[in-house]
Homo-oligomer: A and B are copies of this chain.
Amino acid sequence: MSSCLSHCRHHHQVRLHRRAGPDRPLPAAASFAPPLRRRAGRAHVMSAEAPPGVAPAEPGPGTATQAAVLSEMVEDAAVWCAVHGLVVGDRDNTRSGTVPGVGLVHAPVSLLPARFPTSFWKQALELAPLFNELVDRVSLDGEFLQETKQVDDFTARLLEIHEKMMAIDKKEDIRLGLHRSDYMLDSETNSLLQIELNTVSTSFPGLGSLVSELHRNLLIQYGKVLGLDSERIPRNWAASQFADALARAWSEYNNDRKTLAQVEAEGKINPDGTLVVDGRIVSVVYFRAGYSPNDYPSEAEWKARLLMEESSAIKCPSISYHLVGTKKIQQELAKPNVLERFLDNKEDIAKLRKSFAGLWSLDNEEIVKSAIEKPDLFVLKPQREGGGNNIYGHDLRDTLVKLQKEQGESLAAYILMQRIFPKASLTPLVRGGVCFEDLTISELGIYGGYLRNKDKVIVNNPSGYLMRTKVSSSNEGGVATGFAVLDSVYLTDE
């Protein structure tokens, strides 16, 4: 859902470890290092304070060589981006974003892929079809989606459309989902924890695929001197896998549509349910927009959304799939016995639940007690969407004690969440053609393509990945994340 690189819902505490770097000492400078024939990447001082007890790694043998190699890699990386379409709009250019094809700059990227243990990688891949299936099952339970009324105005409008579809008993035989489930590795529990599940306009399958290719190419060229193996970067076909799922959806729709519909007036729905735009029948509606209140400046947009939903066109996502991806539903699904309402296989349920970060309401006295004892392991969040600041540490303890005394409705205004402790690494980042090193944390998104037609599941696969790496700086409350870069995965045996 989020198209902003720096968006991250959960808060987290930084633990330092070393980024993908040489497993063995670098060779002496003389034999491998190319001369500094190109502009050296500007080396910034670290902008983030290391957490207490953590010191930056001492320079080892071959550091000078590595610096020369990294400097050469920066130029290669930036040029590779330019000639392979790994570019974004440059915010400093006023025409960028208003005129197509102008004001381009290479996408911000990490220079090296992020280390990621193979075991967690496999776990994340295994979860993709389970989450796909879960989204589908939940989407069919209209009552469940409608139950949780206590939401923001925007979600309330979505629920309104959903309610109208329930009223006319609208069925979606062909259901297409292009999802992305985002995870972080929690160093405290040594587990893979879900951050969020995106079911609408899941971003960056294209750029994500390209970053993996960029890193693969850099390691083919420089892997030897860096002690890194390009084969440890998993292949990433996110863009083509999503395109394939879209194409198959189109085929399913047109195979099912027996006769050519009579073309009605523009923007009307035919008696057979088909939607006609520009004299053509719409088979698949892909929502590149529509997930933010800004996308609905007037009632006309809501009317259009309703029209699409009423039609027989395949919606990616349908209003139901869209709602399943809301924060509210994520919270509901994390409650005890809720997964069991949708899935039968106990192993699948256990795998999904294992990836949920803890999420408790304050009527759970045992958890409240734990949180007062160990406030650093929790985050206290206001229940209302988008409202208020999260509460940590001493403040969390004090607030809980106060709320316990008050009891009553004020307890319902908050929710307790498990605090995630991602490890931080020192990472060379490239932005605007310039490289600098900073402390970062990474978030892995696994794309999942899903297509079914009634009982026939046609696509249900993990479909590539997206690694996003964010500059992190610890602060009193937790971690403030700065700008983010696109990244890929380097599988390790840890």
Contacts and interface: CB of A to CB of B under 8 A. Distances in A.
Given A84-B85, A85-B82, A85-B85, A100 B433 contact: yes
21 contacts: A33-B278, A39-B98, A75-B100, A78-B100, A78-B101, A79-B100, A79-B101, A82-B85, A82-B87, A82-B101, A83-B87, A85-B85, A87-B87, A87-B104, A90-B103, A95-B432, A99-B432, A100-B106, A101-B430, A102-B433, A104-B106
A101 B93 contact: no
Contacts of A87: 82-83, 87, 104
A260 interface: no
A82 B459 CA distance: 31
Nearest to A105: B102
Nearest to A75: B100
A297 to B, nearest CB: 16
A4 interface: no
A44 to B, nearest CB: 15
A11 B32 CA distance: 51
Nearest to A89: B82
Contacts of A98: 39
* Interchain residue pairs A-B with the least CB separation, the first 7: A78-B101, A101-B106, A99-B433, A78-B100, A83-B85, A104-B104, A102-B433
B101 A433 contact: yes
A102 B83 contact: no
Interface of A: 30-35, 39, 74-75, 77-79, 81-85, 87, 90, 93, 95, 98-106, 206, 278-279, 430, 432-434
B433 A95 contact: yes
Given A82-B101, A100-B106, 19 more contacts: A32-B279, A33-B278, A74-B100, A77-B101, A78-B100, A78-B102, A81-B101, A82-B104, A83-B206, A85-B85, A87-B87, A90-B103, A101-B106, A101-B430, A102-B105, A102-B432, A104-B104, A104-B105, A104-B106
Nearest to A38: B100
A295 to B, nearest CB: 15
Query: Residue among A39, A79, A100 with the most chain B CB within 10 A?
Result: A100
A430 to B, nearest CB: 8
Contacts of A32: 278-279
Contacts of A432: 95, 99, 102
Contacts of A430: 101
Contacts of A35: 278
A110 B32 CA distance: 45
Given A85-B85, A93-B93, A31 B102 contact: no
Contacts of A83: 85, 87, 206
Query: Residue among A30, A35, A74, A278 with the most chain B CB within 10 A?
Result: A278
A78 to B, nearest CB: 3
B102 A90 contact: yes
Contacts of A77: 101
Contacts of A106: 100-102, 104
A269 B229 CA distance: 34
A197 B30 CA distance: 42
B102 A279 contact: no
Given A278-B35, A279-B31, A100 B82 contact: yes
Query: Residue among A34, A39, A99, A432 with the most chain B CB within 10 A?
Result: A99
A101 B95 contact: no
Contacts of A90: 102-103
Contacts of A82: 85, 87, 100-101, 104
A105 B103 contact: yes
A255 to B, nearest CB: 23
A34 B266 CA distance: 12
A433 B106 CA distance: 18
A351 to B, nearest CB: 36
A30 B103 contact: no
Nearest to A101: B78
Contacts of A30: 279
A99 B105 CA distance: 11
A174 to B, nearest CB: 25
B101 A278 contact: no
A32 to B, nearest CB: 8
Contacts of A99: 39, 78, 432-434
A111 to B, nearest CB: 12
A3 B30 CA distance: 36
Nearest to A79: B100
A79 B34 CA distance: 36
